[in-house]
Copies of this chain bind each other. A is one copy, B any other.
Amino acid sequence: MLNIRLIRPVISEIPDSVIEAEVSRFLPEGVQVLAERIGRGPRSIESQADVVEAAGEVVKVARRAEEQGFDAAAIYCFADPGLEAVRECTRIPVAGAGESSMLVAASLGISFSVITVLGSLVGNIYNTASRLGLSHRLASIRSVDIPVLELDDRDRLLQALEREALRAVAKDRAHVLILGCTGMTGTANALEQRLIDSGHSVPVVDPAGACILWAQMLAGLGLCHSRKTYWYTFVEQM
């Protein structure tokens, strides 16, 4: 049995069990996921300032996950808060939702667009694509213009996703779409269907599924991040 820690980089009233159920449907038997929220920090991550606020707490949860014997961890947020620092501070593989979604998309077609919540995340998402060397395959970054905490209204969300997805496909020539917020999880299939109804058969990557499956994949391969890129730093005081 593989055990994966899902790190929620926000303070939230939504119980961890709800999130665990959401991501478990992507997983085979033999993989168990346990979620944990950070102790203090932002209620949602919608900017680089939010990333800075959350990152230190994400490191703490990740280090604890290693001590608790988890096989891998995944950061449950498309902005990948603290991802680079976490990899320096742990000896278990750690996946980010933004990074893994883009790498998955890279195997599905020649270009991809990200549809995120707000324009305030454009810089963060562009940086992830640049860091991976995939910015030339990024057709566009679009947003539904709905704050994270209002994503519950699934009708409004799907309508906005469909609008931006059609623009991404028709205007920006995206061959693959990525939901640019883990809070959008569960809408990929419905969005794919709406696009098919409009005559466009393009896959939609769910970042929640991508990060948890990426973590499982790395654990299954017995891999951890390179110490040439991510030195191991035991930071007592953190």
Contacts and interface: CB of A to CB of B under 8 A. Distances in A.
Interface of A: 1-2, 26-31, 47-49, 51-53, 55-56, 59, 82, 84-85, 87-89, 95, 99-100, 103-104, 106-110, 118-120, 122-124, 126-127, 130-137, 140, 169, 173, 175-176, 188-189, 200-206, 209-210, 213-214, 216-218, 220-233, 235, 238
A177 to B, nearest CB: 9
6 contacts: A48-B84, A119-B228, A127-B131, A175-B228, A201-B228, A206-B221
Nearest to A124: B84
Given A28-B216, A110-B126, A188 B222 contact: yes
A123 B99 CA distance: 15
Given A100-B107, A104-B221, A131-B131, A47 B231 contact: yes
Nearest to A216: B28
Given A119-B231, A201-B227, 19 more contacts: A1-B28, A27-B30, A47-B231, A47-B233, A48-B88, A51-B85, A95-B107, A104-B217, A107-B225, A108-B225, A122-B228, A123-B229, A123-B230, A127-B127, A130-B130, A133-B133, A133-B134, A133-B135, A209-B220
Contact of A202 (B89, B104, B134, B228): B228
Given A28-B30, A55-B52, A88-B48, A225 B82 contact: no
Contacts of A140: 173
Contacts of A169: 228
A217 B104 CA distance: 9
Contacts of A226: 108-110, 175-176, 201-203
Nearest first, the 7 A-B pairs at minimum CB distance are A29-B30, A28-B30, A109-B226, A201-B227, A109-B229, A175-B228, A120-B231
